[in-house]
Amino acid sequence: MKKYELLIFDLDDTLINNNENVRYAFKKMTEVLGYTYSDEMFNKWQKFDKKFWLDFYNGKIEIPYNKDDERFVPYVQSLRYRNFFRPQISMERALEINPKFIDWLKEIVVPEEGCYETLEYLHQKGYKLVVATNGANQAIESKLRKINCRQFIDETFSADMTKECVTKPNPIYFKELLDYLGYHEKEKILLIGDSLHSEVEGGKNTGIDTCWYNREQLPAKEDAIPTIEIHKLKELTKKL
Ligand SMILES: [Mg+2]
């Protein structure tokens, strides 16, 4: 007897290797701006980008538009390039580059090691497979097609489909997800993802078992203990 019926996967850094998408887009951007790409520069960008978003969410970055203004999001996104490459590029140039950067991010999608085999196996075993993210639904569909795995997935769900505009790990996100799926047997659901915050805590707060995809073999946190832990996706074919 299988313990679980429904497996809910995260996408970025769980089924796909987001780092490689970003590297590709960053490389293209340096080309267009006339820089010579190096891994060192990319590592610097990643640290910078992480800090930028942290500062942004902590209200440390001033934006000259209101949140509901359509210029708000492109401005925030573009400000990152302006600040990183300052003073070589202007805000106007950064705003011009932004839609291209977003396209480049979608151009190449690299699956996580063992992704295809694992999803194919679980699908054949009769599990219902769902992908749920905090990104946009259009992005999930196109990414899954690009890694040739869409046929294994029963449903996709994303933050932009929630009525309350919520993201993981908010329990309302998971409530809306289960309502959308019309499935409420929580004890038969396993939530799988790379984030202790979004998936492990999210599952815990919602009363759903979790599987932490701990690719980098990081230490766990006391308040976010997963039901299962794996270091490679393929381990799921042994555990489920
Ligand atoms: Mg993730």
**How far, in Å, is the centroid of ligand 1 from the Cα of 114?**
16
Task: Give the three-class secondary structure for 83.
Answer: helix
CA of 93 from ligand 1 middle (Å) equals 30
State in Å: Cα 132 to ligand 1 middle. 10
**pLDDT score for 139:** 82
Q: How far is the CA of 10 from the centre of ligand 1 (A)?
A: 6
Q: Phi and psi dihedrals of 229, rounded to 5?
A: -130, 135
Q: How far is the CA of 217 from the centre of ligand 1 (A)?
A: 15
Hey, is 155 helix, strand or coil? strand
**Distance, CA of 3 to CA of 128 (rounded, Å):** 13
Report CA(112)–ligand 1 centroid distance (Å). 11
Entry pTM: 0.79
Q: How far is the CA of 15 from the centre of ligand 1 (A)?
A: 8
Q: What separation in Å is there between the alpha carbon of 214 and the centre of ligand 1?
A: 11
* Cβ-based neighbours of 142, under 8 Å, separated by 6 or more: 106, 109
Q: At what angle do helices 72-85 and 91-107 cross, to 10 degrees?
A: 100
Centre of ligand 1 from the C-alpha of residue 136, in Å = 14
Residue 132 phi/psi, 5° resolution?
-130, 125
Predicted pLDDT at 73:
87
Give the pLDDT confidence score for residue 120 in this predicted structure. Answer: 98
Task: Compute the distance from residue 54 Cα to the ligand 1 centre, in Å.
Answer: 17
CATH number corresponding to 6-16+112-239: 3.40.50.1000
pLDDT averaged over 10-residue windows placed end to end, the chain, 240 residues: 94 93 93 95 95 87 91 93 92 95 88 97 98 87 94 95 89 97 98 96 96 92 92 96
How far apart are alpha carbons 226 and 22 in whole angstroms? 28
Q: What is the pLDDT of residue 202?
A: 95
| Residue 67 token pair | 């949140």
Q: In what order do the strands lie in the sheet with 155-158?
A: 155-158, 128-133, 6-9, 189-193, 209-213, 228-230
Give the C-alpha separation, 240 to 232, whole Å: 14
The three-state secondary structure class of 191 is strand
| Site of tokens 């766990």 | 220
- Give the containing element (helix H, strand E) for 232: none
Q: Tokens 């490459």 identify what position?
A: 85
